[in-house]
Structure 1
Amino acid sequence: MPEEFKQLEIEAVHHDPDFRPKISKIFEVLNNCFKKYSQVTSSSSGPNLRGNSRNNSMQKSRPKRADNIDAYALPDLESFKYMTLTDATKQHKLYDKHGKLVGYVKTAYKCFEAYANLGNTGGTANRNQIKAKYYKALYISRGLVPSPPNKDKIIAELYKEVADDEANEFPEVKVRYEDCLCYGNGVEQDVSEALKYYEKAAEDGVKVAMYNIGNMYYNGVGCKKNIEKAKNYIELAVYNGYEAAIRFRNEYKL
């Protein structure tokens, strides 16, 4: 057994959690051990070693194993320097005292792409995939990475997947997808469909959605004009402290 692995075993069960290795370190050590082990096993089958017949018979009896990381349906961890998905989500928020972005956004984006492209296997893997898709779309829309071809279409598709996810981890994304529908960015313009996503977001407590629904009902945009509904949604947004709703209520005497 590799010495690095033995040491990792000891550190991983340290009584003080602060001294336990990060998941990124664990992946790095395991990957290095895997590479070394693969090299050793391949070289041990060379023609100059004694007892080749014995080795061959032992190898025949061994069950087949995967010879690369991809066979385990894991992302290419090395391509984004073993950055965890949790750490990746923080990179666009890291600025120095002069307001300059200092986070590793390029590495983070590679992490998002890798997890977003994984097959949907359910459970934690699916949750990671949804999170990665959300941040991938966010990075593209904010211009944090070079724009891919069909930028708007990619953003809209990613936001829709996240908005329709039953776990509802990112309720605000419904508003982002609604904007795509309202203005026809990456999808066919459909204001009535946009209103449905606004209503779902309002139910989740998203203030801007409450205000926008009130505005749409007041002006009859994507729906039949309904002053009573408009008033209810505007009041709800006001109650939650949304400034634009306060100004709207005062201006139109609702």
Structure 2
Amino acid sequence: MKTILILVTMFILATTTGNSQNIEDVILESRAKLFKENTTKANRGNAKAQFDLGQMYYYGVGTKKDYRKAFEYYEKSAAQGHLEGLYALALSYYSGVGVGIDKKQALELFMECSNKGDFNAKFNLANMYFYGEGTEIDLKKSLILYKDCAENGDSNAQIILGMMYYNGFGTKKDKVKAKKWLNKARENGHKMAPQLIDNINDIEN
């Protein structure tokens, strides 16, 4: 009985290993096929395919990682107004991946994305105005942008907005609004919110 169990176990392991290898081959073939398809579409001017191909170069999916080529395809996609392409291009200029760092260009692209309704871009834009990256520090503009993100449910923006109201950054100090946004962040599960609320309560008491 023991011998049979060992043989069955060995058979299962061998079969599982074989299937795993086959699955890996299928995944690699699928990625290579997708890369080829996106290359064809991208070279024909398809903006979505250009963005997707940029992502494949960026992450090394179906091809070797190539940040420069990723940037080039993001740029082609963005030139056609594709939102994801614009956002990826903004991140490239901001971080200097695949191209030299250019915070002013990043700011302009984040602004364009923000105007098209991208809240990740709006949050990044708020950060840039807050810290003066690619522009002069403008806490009032930063506050407005963080508020838009906070109202959209971004708990990080809710935390920042709460502390801006508490400290009077870009606005008059307003402890009521500060606690309102910190409590919203806590409700949304932000880990920093409870400690910040406790700290404020300790100061007031």
Q: Secondary structure at the match of 1:172?
A: helix
Deviations, residues 109-131 of structure 1 (Å, cap 9, x unaligned):
1101112223xxxxxxx4x2x22
Q: Measured at CA, do residues 227 and 93 of structure 1 come closer, stay the same or move farther in structure 2, by a change above 3 Å?
A: farther
Deviation at 1:242, TM superposition (A): 1.1
Task: Please tell me whether the aligned partners of residues 23 and 84 of structure 1 are also in contact (alpha carbons under 8 angstroms).
Answer: no
Deviation at 1:240, TM superposition (A): 1.0
Q: Measured at CA, do residues 26 and 104 of structure 1 come closer, stay the same or move farther in structure 2, by a change above 3 Å?
A: closer
Q: Distance in 2 between matches of 1:175 and 1:222?
A: 16
Q: Return the letter of the residue paired with 2:93.
A: I
Q: Is residue 178 of structure 1 aligned with residue 122 of structure 2?
A: no
Of residues 88, 93, 114, the one that matches 2:76 is: 114
- Aligned ranges 1:1-254 → 2 under 5 Å: 25=37, 28=40, 74=45, 84-89=50-55, 91-93=57-59, 103-118=65-80, 126=81, 128=82, 130-148=83-101, 151-165=102-116, 168=117, 170-253=118-201
How many matched pairs?
Answer: 169
Deviations, residues 114-171 of structure 1 (Å, cap 9, x unaligned):
12223xxxxxxx4x2x2211101112322322315xx111111111111111xx2x31
Deviations, residues 34-71 of structure 1 (Å, cap 9, x unaligned):
xxxxxxxxxxxxxxxxxxxxxxxxxxxxxxxxxxx7xx
Q: Measured at CA, do residues 143 and 214 of structure 1 come closer, stay the same or move farther in structure 2, by a change above 3 Å?
A: same
Q: Distance in 1 between matches of 2:152 and 2:103?
A: 25
Deviation at 1:236, TM superposition (A): 0.4
Q: Return the letter of the residue paired with 2:91.
A: L
Q: Distance in 2 between matches of 1:30 and 1:134?
A: 18
1:38 aligned residue? none
Give the number of the structure whose residues are more often helix, by fraction.
2
TM-score (norm 1): 0.58
Q: Return the letter of the residue paired with 2:68.
A: K
Unaligned 5+ runs, structure 1:
1-17, 32-68, 78-82, 96-101, 119-125
Q: Distance in 2 between matches of 1:194 and 1:103?
A: 35
Q: Measured at CA, do residues 227 and 204 of structure 1 come closer, stay the same or move farther in structure 2, by a change above 3 Å?
A: same
Deviations, residues 46-103 of structure 1 (Å, cap 9, x unaligned):
xxxxxxxxxxxxxxxxxxxxxxx7xxxx37x9xxxxx6422423554569xxxxxx63
Task: Please tell me whether the aligned partners of residues 172 and 206 of structure 1 are also in contact (alpha carbons under 8 angstroms).
Answer: no
Task: Please tell me whether the aligned partners of residues 93 and 103 of structure 2 are also in contact (alpha carbons under 8 angstroms).
Answer: no
Q: Distance in 2 between matches of 1:205 and 1:238?
A: 12
Q: Distance in 1 between matches of 2:42 and 2:132?
A: 47
1:4 aligned residue? none
Q: Distance in 1 between matches of 2:165 and 2:132?
A: 20
Q: Distance in 1 between matches of 2:41 and 2:139?
A: 51
